[in-house]
Amino acid sequence: MVISKIIDKLPVELVEIELPVKSSALTHYKEEKIHPSLDKAKRILPWEVDSDGFFICKLRKTGDIIFCSV
């Protein structure tokens, strides 16, 4: 959900990544709106790799980010 908010607020896009895992990231959760491009992210489930679980995604900057202090 954090990545979804980042995509909505900043000029970035998710990039497809190739990993030998089957699980994509969640594209919906209860009533929460999640950005549809999150299907490019991956969830690495513990039983797929005999390890802890992980989440991975790759973001590409698509424009300038301007920060200003108030």
Q: Report the pLDDT averaged over residues 21-39.
A: 76
**C-alpha distances in angstroms, 51 versus 1, 48, 54, 55?**
23, 8, 9, 13
pTM of the predicted model over 0.85: no
The whole-angstrom distance between residue 6's C-alpha and the CA centroid of its chain comes to 9
What CA–CA distance (Å, rounded) separates 48 from 61?
31
pLDDT top residue among 22 and 13: 13
Mean local confidence (pLDDT), 34-62: 85
Least Cα distance to 35 among 3, 69, 68 occurs for 3
Q: pLDDT confidence of 69, banded at 50, 70, 90?
A: low
